[in-house]
Amino acid sequence: MKYVVILADGMADYPCPSLGGLTPLAYARTPNLDALAHAGLVGEVRTVPPGFPPGSDVANLAVLGYDPRRYYTGRAPLEAASQGIELSPADLALRCNLVTLSPAEEYADRVMLDYSAGEIPTERAEELIAFLQERLGDFRVRFYPGVSYRHLMIWREGPDPDKLKLTPPHDITGQRIGPYLPQGEGAELLRELMVRGAALLASLPGENAANAIWFWGAGRRPQLPLFRERFGLTGAVVAAVDLIKGIGRLCGMRVPLVPGATGNTRTDYRAKAQAALKELQEGADFVFVHIEAPDEAGHQGDLEEKIRAIESIDRLVVGEILKGLWESFPSWRVLVLPDHPTPVVRRTHTSDPVPFLAAGDPPLPGSGEGRPFTEEAAASSSFKLEEGHRLLPWFLGKETEN
């Protein structure tokens, strides 16, 4: 049996008046998902436990079968694992976005214009992070480049992350940053670095969308049990963003490099599908395919782009993987879902339950109800899970402890 999870980040949404009251998922042309839903099972799952922030870090841990209440320690240390950054138990990892702020005489009066600095190209971002490391890095803090706008700062023997209040920049688009600057233990140094970083970036020649840095997602090194020990399966993670690749590496799964996978809306969807099939053909029992594009479109408030992303996932990821499964493997299962909603009207994550679709050959128990794969159909399904980390063991047919 081969198992594939296709996670369309942030795909779930709210009904949109401009779409006749449909969500982007319900409105999009998705013949492959429609066929799977007709033959499979549609349900609803809550991927974010009560009291947790509705981030991709928490939700993807849950989707991969790891209870966030037990294993979640913060976002940045998961990304550090992807980059091979060794953390001591006392080190604090922080996400460091390159962002675009409005001009203002007082730093706190600036407005968050773009959490992604215009989806800055990785090559340019690497130059800027190297520049900031040279000017701001010291024995306490070090900056590490990632992909596009997503970078890290490691604070050696940093403060307790539970005593530090940080806000994701995508939560405050269009808002004055003053109320959301770091607060609590260690906040003074972070605010100083942010102010100095903005001045340094402003000193560079030419026009730069990346005119500031923003810290969030702090945490210490996590300890995750190996996937193969928990489920008895060899696995691989196909993703572009460090967060997901880091989770995969911490779980002991293969994480192949996928040329053309960018972590934004301009990504090579088909390349991800081909990479997943290659992993299965080379012996992996399980592949987790992560696509960031719907989430990015949701954060940008771009309804048309979100619909295009969903349709591209259906055609170039789901369609390609189904074709490969039918041609190469006698038995298989596919699970499709978002990690959380990213409604275009909100431009940030919510903790609402999300729809999921499970299908396979041979069919899963309970298949064949003919429900569409939409938020509304999932909400009316009798198959609902309040604990997201229970979904994968059910899908694999391998019940396990948290």
pLDDT along the chain (402 residues), means of 10: 98 98 98 97 97 95 97 94 93 98 97 96 96 97 96 97 96 97 97 98 92 97 94 97 94 96 92 98 98 96 98 98 97 98 97 98 91 97 96 89 52
Question: Per the domain annotation, does 401 fall within a domain?
Answer: no
276 lies in some domain? yes
Cα separation, 373 vs 309, whole angstroms: 16
Domain presence at residue 367:
yes
Do 91 and 173 belong together in one domain? yes
Domain assignment present for 335: yes
Q: Is 381:358 a contact under the CB 8 Å cutoff?
A: no
Please indicate, yes or no, whether residues 147 and 104 belong to a single structural domain of this protein. Answer: yes
The tokens describing 153, both together, are: 């700062």
Is 402 a domain residue?
A: no
- pLDDT score, position 400: 60
In the listed set 173, 192, 220, which residue is the last one of a domain according to the structure? 220
Residue 310 sits in the same domain as residue 392: yes
Residues 186 and 216 in one domain: yes
Measuring CA to CA, which residue among 246, 243, 278 is closest to residue 259? 278
Residues 382 and 270 in one domain: yes
* Contact present, 378 and 43 (Cβ < 8 Å): yes
* 377 in the same domain as 242: yes
Neighbours of 345 (CB within 10 A): 12
Q: Are residues 351 and 368 in the same domain?
A: yes
The answer to whether residues 50 and 134 belong to one domain is: no
Q: Are 267 and 261 in contact (CB under 8 A)?
A: yes
Mark out the alpha helices in 141-186 (DSSP H runs): none
Query: What pLDDT score does 401 carry?
Result: 54
CA 161, distance to chain mean position in Å, is: 21
pLDDT of residue 48: 97
**Apex CA 51: angle with CA 49 and CA 52, to 5°?**
65
Report if residue 255 sits inside a domain.
yes
340 to each of 113, 290, 296, 306, how far by Cα in Å? 23, 13, 13, 14
370 and 253 co-located in one domain: yes
Q: Are residues 153 and 52 in the same domain?
A: no
What is the CATH number for 350?
Answer: 3.40.720.10
From 158, 190, 220, give the residue that closes a domain: 220
Give this prediction's pTM.
0.89
Q: What CA–CA distance (Å, rounded) separates 4 from 7?
A: 10
Count of structural domains within the chain: 2
Look at residue 69 in the predicted model and tell me its pLDDT: 96
Q: What is the pLDDT of residue 263?
A: 87
Residues 247 and 391 in one domain: yes
Q: Which of 200, 220, 240 is the last residue of a domain?
A: 220
Q: Give φ, ψ of 146 to 5 degrees.
A: -125, -130
Q: Single out the residue of 311, 310, 337 nearest to residue 44, CA to CA.
A: 337
Task: Let me know whether 242 and 384 are in one domain.
Answer: yes
Q: Could you give the CA distance from residue 316 to residue 305 in angstroms, rounded to a whole number? A: 16
> Is 212 within a domain?
yes
Q: Domain range for residue 107?
A: 82-220
